[in-house]
């Protein structure tokens, strides 16, 4: 099994602080897609201004570089992945790496250039971009689309790994890695979140609820 731990140290802690500041990461009671009542919720769609998106792209850049994944271009699945992929290629360009990227339409266009792919043609090793992996549906659809166009899906980069069980005893991220045989890198994960909460006086009130949730639904490594 591939390692899902980001092990990004200060980068992960800074990202969690940034996500809380922007109210992208919230605490309370939230129902997940799996029907679980989670004590926290992460919604990357709330990075909704230029400054936030610029900084988010830089966080992804650092995480992807640390992962060592080799790739030729980025792919952002519609809709949330479109803005993420654009922000990340800008961050790479700022650091001297000019990379192509593409995204898909939900419905094929039957006029103009047509097709479902917008941006660069899918070719070579393609890194898929997403915010989190819940059921793995978006990744599966992206892998199928990339393969259909003759390119090679080589990995997935996400913002937060919730490290909780998917369909079985493996986490949703581990299921993706096992099914598609590609690595997944994350800027931060639940272990990093627990570490942050534990050492932040304003957040420590949430520690017990998050720990109990992890005990019930989390995976062990």
Map out the domains of the chain as residue ranges: 10-217
Q: List, for residues 65-92, the tens digit of each pLDDT value.
A: 999 999 999 999 998 999 999 999 999 9
Q: List, for residues 91-145, the tens digit of each pLDDT value.
A: 999 999 999 999 998 776 554 455 789 999 999 999 999 999 987 788 999 999 9
Indicate the class that CATH gives domain 10-217. alpha beta
- For 150, left (φ over 0), alpha (ψ -120 to 50), or beta? left
Strand 37-42 relative to strand 25-31, pairing: antiparallel
Active site residues: 109, 111
What is the reported pTM? 0.92
């Amino acid at each position: 099994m591939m390692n899902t731990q980001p092990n990004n140290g200060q980068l992960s802690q800074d990202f969690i602080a940034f996500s809380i500041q922007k109210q992208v990461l919230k605490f309370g009671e939230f129902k997940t897609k799996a029907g679980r009542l989670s004590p926290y919720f992460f919604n990357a769609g709330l990075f909704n201004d230029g400054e936030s998106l610029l900084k988010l792209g830089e966080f992804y850049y650092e995480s992807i570089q640390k992962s060592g994944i080799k790739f030729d271009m980025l792919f952002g699945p519609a809709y949330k992945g479109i803005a993420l992929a654009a922000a990340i290629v800008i961050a790479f360009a700022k650091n001297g790496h000019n990379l192509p990227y593409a995204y898909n339409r939900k419905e094929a266009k039957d006029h103009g250039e047509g097709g479902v792919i917008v941006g660069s043609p899918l070719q070579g090793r393609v890194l898929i971009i997403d915010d989190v992996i819940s059921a793995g549906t978006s990744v599966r659809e992206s892998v199928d689309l990339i393969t259909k166009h003759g390119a090679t899906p080589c990995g997935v980069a996400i913002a937060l790994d919730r490290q909780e069980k998917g369909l079985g005893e493996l986490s949703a991220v581990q299921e993706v890695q096992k099914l598609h045989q590609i690595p997944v890198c994350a800027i931060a994960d639940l272990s990093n979140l627990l570490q942050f909460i534990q050492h932040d006086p304003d957040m420590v009130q949430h520690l017990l609820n998050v720990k109990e949730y992890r005990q019930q639904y989390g995976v062990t490594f």
